[in-house]
Chains A and B, each alone.
Chain A
Amino acid sequence: MSSEPLLHLDCLSHTYSDGTVGIHDLCFKVFPKEIVGVCGPNGSGKSTLLEHLNGILIPSEGEIMLEGEAINKKNPEKLRRSVGLVFQDADSQLFAPTVMDDVMFGPINNGMSPSEAKSAAEWALDLVGFTERSKIPHYLSGGEKRLVAIAGVVAMKPKIVAVDEPTSDLDPVNAERIENLLLKLRDELGVSVVISTHDMDLAARISDRVYILKKGVVLAEGVPRDLFYDEGLLREARLKPPEVVGVYKSLAKDGVLDDGSRPIRREELLSLIEERMKRQEAVV
């Protein structure tokens, strides 16, 4: 991971016009080629934070730095070109009459010619694995809508893709499809990804770093392995630990697994159990 952040939100605060505090004194960094998970219960400020990443919301206080350059009211388009935002409600994002028209919308706004925009849209749709270009977004399934919404942002070739609740309301197969796509963005395209989620299992599986938010404030920041084993922290944030953490803790409590390795992904836990069984067999 590079030591220079791509995006740096420095002591950001945002208060809505009705007086509600969205986020308060929040510091947030995104480094190149990483997946950052933003976890928190409903109303913790996750969506407010994500809307600042793209310049949709302007902070009441604080500073946004993109690759060392300060972003203010005069140059939000720089932020919009570099950070793509995928909204939680894909229905509100897909407004054009066909999939192709919708995916071309962002590249056209970025100043691409129609032929360039079409190539970018074709490339993005291929990347997400969606082939039916002339389909009407209205008729797509929830998972397909989410894929097309991501393609619409990826076609703009941003450096960071922020996705609000990427797998909420999706069936397990579609959720896995989206999860693999997010990993592909990081691993194959070198794009940084920010996800906001209260799905702790998803955050544990794919995040390189995690921010835990509560009432618009960052409670903790770090690697999932540290944060998700901190019971007090999760209790304070009103979050449940990922399933793997829960299973490992139960097994450790029963003395089955007690090596202190703190697995965070299912495959890590399975390999620990396998090792333990092999050792037991050897003893027998």
Chain B
Amino acid sequence: MNVTALHKLSDRKWQLDPTGDMRVPAIIYGDAILVGEMEDKVREQIANVASLPGIVGAAHVMPDAHWGYGFPIGGVAAFDPDEGGIVSAGGVGFDISCGVRTILTGLRRGDVEPVKKELADSLFANIPAGLGSRGKITLDAIDMDAMLSGGAGWALQQGYGIPADLERIEEHGKMEGAEPDAVSDHAKERQRAEMGTLGSGNHYLEVQEVSTIHDETAASTFGLKRGDVVVSIHCGSRGLGHQIGTEFLREMAIAAPANGIHLPDLELACAPIKSELGQRYLGAMRAAINCALANRQIITHLTRRVFTHYFPDATLDLLFDVSHNTCKEEWHELEGRKRWVFVHRKGATRAFGPGHPDLPAAFAAVGQPVFIGGSMGTMSAIMVGAGAKPEPAFASACHGAGRRLSRHQALKRWHGRQVIDELAHRGIIIRSPSSRGVAEEAPGAYKDTAAVVEAAHVTGLARKVADLSPMICIKG
């Protein structure tokens, strides 16, 4: 993206002024290098988002943004239902409520090192990953609907977890307003045997060491010390979310002209929030959020079982669970007025600052944990909602470094075995069903996580708390 075509607001904040059909400006976060590296398609896509009915404030682009579907990945936009605002299936994406949860283990690196290989093998054997894997549970129609309504709370009732977990999940583990009846039989069928599975692509389970602490107060509140071992799980609503995304994208694309909506890109398929289709999508999407929360809860249970085999006294307390592909109803202040808006975050996480009423009590004083995912060999990061006033990007932050090279380019440059061996040399164990999948996900195929984290920190989207370095990575 050519930064000279943007209006510079600061060294790490740029504005695309409204032109053509844009109803609001777009704000792009990142230094000149990061923004310069973004594809031109990101500018085109965020300009399209800014033209959608009922958009308020501005459309926002996170420092890790890249070319997506309709919305850029790393795009944030809010819509007011009273001003004809829309909800967009494309704006949430196929992997509804994809997210990251991080679990404290109470262990130190020195505890884990002696059994690292065995631990990696056990995690790989017990946590289904990749295409063709099956979960250990199959849901019948009644359980399916209960899961779609109950989220992580449902998983708890099935014995997967402890009550304290729910306080450490967005929406307390259960998204209200879910409508299992709005979810098609096809979507439910696709999910029947996929509960507790990681999926593939960039999804992973990683055992990590807290390598650096940037903010002692927040780190202490989060229970993090340098040298501690944590587990991070990155996955979403699996086949159910994919099918809901597929079906509603089609229905909204076909219905758009009748709803008076001009779609500059079919992938922006959307419907007015105040319409039967918009409401039905919201009900189905919220059910998919519950599916993702239940899925990560079950994987947490499987992880705990493996860890307690090697470390019988380990408790594995949940730090937090955040989703980064969602549309949520929230209060935000715009031009001095509180407004109830529908915030789309596509490849962006919520980042509530200190004192936000929706935060768990444990985080009220410091703000919400924000997780920035790495890529096998590279650091991940834990940040905290900064609480800047006015809040930037509807209290959102980035979610992980985007790709630098396509899967094809990565395959030309690396072999899976070579990546696994190089990482093993650095003390990082990779377990994956596919050598080609590892090559496609090679750390070098991704942008620099540290630069993305720095940009989020300096622009006030979130504040740095701790860096995590990988020890074991289970790839789907």
Is B a genuine binding partner of A?
Answer: no
